[in-house]
Structure 1
Amino acid sequence: MLFHAFFLASVLAVVSAGPLGTPVSQSVTPVRRQAASLCSQYAYYAASGYEFNNNNWGKGAASSGNQCTTVQSVSGSGVSWSTSWTWQGGQDNVKSYANAGRLFDRGIKISNIKSLPTNIQWDYQPRDGIRANVAYDVFTAADPNHDKSSGDYELMIWLARIGGVYPIGNKVATVNLAGFNWDLYTGPNGSMKVFSFLPADGSWKMSFNADLKLFFNYLAQNQGYPINNQHLIVFQQGTEPFTGGPTKYTVSSYSANVNT
């Protein structure tokens, strides 16, 4: 939600990392090292088809706070990572969107995508007093080379709404997709139109396995989404903190793919 400033990462230092481990004899237990630690405002790391952004784009609205994102492991089959934060002030302003994004070839029309399968297991600890969401964020645009900081349309799928935060816009429908009931909200985010799906029963989807193409199909059939002229720009999953902490969002496993 809101403008993701990770495109600035190209002018900032990429956090490098060593391998996850080196060969050792069988008599020694190997030490598993983290892949990257991302603590600057737009710190960025990419490997094995995934990219990670600390992306503290809204920190200016905070009276105090900080955030660091840690990449634990990365492979073609999936990733694990976490982000730790504390933010005060700017009660109703998002401070960041630390996220893991799937890299893919640009120029893919949404109508030509067969499936967008994804699987995630996550947790938030401690939870008391925090205000945040956990959400997928997918941008699409008619221009396949549109800047990755925005798009024509934004699809958000909230897996959790924590501490009374709200999505952009107003509720327009309740629909069953991927085996769950969702309340759909729509509204503007700058020049983008945002579609936000929230669990209708208020539950947290801490283990979620779904094909996100189902959501685009529904929007095309029922909400006027122009599926035939929109291209996939970003495919991300992360968390948007408002206030609270210190706390830690931990993704024990996450995978996403674009199948055409």
Structure 2
Amino acid sequence: MARRITAHRLTRSLLTSALALGATIAFASAPAQAAAWSTCDRWGSTSLNGYTLYNNIWGSGAGSQCTWANSGSSWGTWAAHPNTGGIKAYPNSTKDVNRTLSGLASLSSSYNVSVPSAGAYNSSYDIWDAAHKYEIMLWVNKTGPVGPIGTLQGSVSLEGHSWDVYKGSNGSNQVFSFLRTSNSSSGTVDILPILRWIANTKGWMPSDELIGTVQFGFEITSAAGGLNFTANNVTVSSS
């Protein structure tokens, strides 16, 4: 859905008292060394090493959440969201691409994450065109009762990964979701062949679409009692 990178579009509201109370607990969950940046602000963000980091508590009914970072590619989130339905947040790191699909020679990413065995969430890439008409999600792992927008279109194997593909709309933009058929905590994803498959093989978006950003983060529905989500190393490169 158009909800993560576009958090700044939403009306800015005061933090809940639970968010403030969770700050002390959250920072205790950060690495032993002092983080380069940390926030418990609902829309807190910063830029580090060519990436923009967002705490991004965008959903309703959210609890406490804080995000810290050692660098643009090494960061984590402590979240304590209630065990209720609906996505509460998508803390993420964002890399600007701003190249047309036809003009890209390469677009890839490596990920290494540590995620809890409890809660309801997915670890996912969220790729946007510059006009926010198309959203491409790549779920590399998921836990609990979570699912994508749209209907199952079938399965496809691309560049060493097998995906179940869903297509739908959130009312604002088209959403194409690729769910890895087995959970993975580390690996490399060649994103460009996936985008070309969507455009050239399926015809779901133009082959010269301007790709705006690649995000990686944790789409959290529930994290009762407080859970840690860590991006040990996530990098995105393009040419």
The TM-score, its normalising length taken from structure 1, stands at: 0.78
* Cα offset, 1:180, TM superposition: 1.7
1:66-215 aligned at under 5 Å gives the runs: 66-74=64-72, 79-88=73-82, 90-91=84-85, 93-104=86-97, 106=98, 108-125=99-116, 127-128=117-118, 130-141=119-130, 146=131, 151-200=132-181, 203-215=182-194
Partner secondary structure for residue 7 of structure 1 = helix
Asked if the contact 2:111/2:185 (under 8 Å) is kept, the reply is yes
Which amino acid in the other structure matches residue 238 of structure 2? V
Structure 1 runs (4+) greater than 6 angstroms displaced: none
Question: 1:216–1:227: 8 Å Cα contact kept in structure 2?
Answer: no
Question: Is the 1:175–1:181 Cα contact (8 Å) retained in structure 2?
Answer: yes
CA contact (8 A) 2:114 2:231 kept: yes
Determine the C-alpha separation between the residues in 2 that align with 1:103 and 1:222.
25
Kept in 2, the 8 Å contact 1:6–1:44? The answer is: no
Question: What secondary structure does 2:228 align onto?
Answer: strand
Q: In the alignment, what sits opposite 1:258?
A: 238
> Within 1, Cα distance between the matches of 2:146 and 2:187?
21
Q: Give 3-state SS (helix, strand or coil) of 1:165's partner.
A: coil
The answer as to 2:47 corresponding to 1:46 is: yes
Contact 1:43/1:53 (8 A) holds in 2: yes
Structure 1 residue 194: deviation in Å?
0.6
CA–CA distance in 1 between the matches of 2:230 and 2:172? 32
> In structure 2, how many angstroms separate the alpha carbons of the residues matched to 1:137 and 1:47?
19
Unaligned runs of 5+ in 1: 13-30
Task: State the alpha-carbon separation in 1 of the partners of residues 33 and 96 from structure 2.
Answer: 25
Q: Does the aligned pair in 2 maintain the 1:124–1:249 contact within 8 Å?
A: yes
**Identity fraction in percent:** 28
* Secondary structure class of the residue paired with 1:111: coil
Tell me, yes or no, if the aligned pair for 1:6 and 1:53 is still in contact at 8 Å.
Answer: no
**Once structures 1 and 2 are overlaid, which stretch shifts more, 159-168 or 81-90?**
81-90
Q: 2:210 aligns with which of 231, 236, 245?
A: 231
What are the superposed Cα offsets for residues 38-63 of structure 1, whole Å, 9 maximum, x if unpaired?
A: 210100010221110000011x234x
Larger radius of gyration: 1
> How far does residue 164 in structure 1 lie from its aligned partner after superposition?
2.4
Q: Give me the whole-angstrom Cα distance separating, in 2, the residues matched to 1:226 and 1:211.
A: 19
What is the DSSP-based 3-state SS (H/G/I as helix, E as strand, rest coil) of the residue aligned with 2:102?
A: helix
Superposition map of 1:60-71 within 5 A: 60-62=60-62, 65-71=63-69
Gaps of 5+ in 2: 14-31
Report the CA distance between 1:191 and its aligned residue: 2.0
**Partner SS for 2:115:** strand
Counterpart of 1:220 in 2: which secondary structure? helix
TM-score by length of 2: 0.85
1:158 is paired with a residue whose SS is strand
RMSD: 2.0
Alpha-carbon distance between aligned partners in 2 of 1:254 and 1:43, rounded to the nearest angstrom: 20
- Cα deviation for residue 181 of structure 1 reads 1.2
Residue 90 of structure 1, CA deviation: 3.8
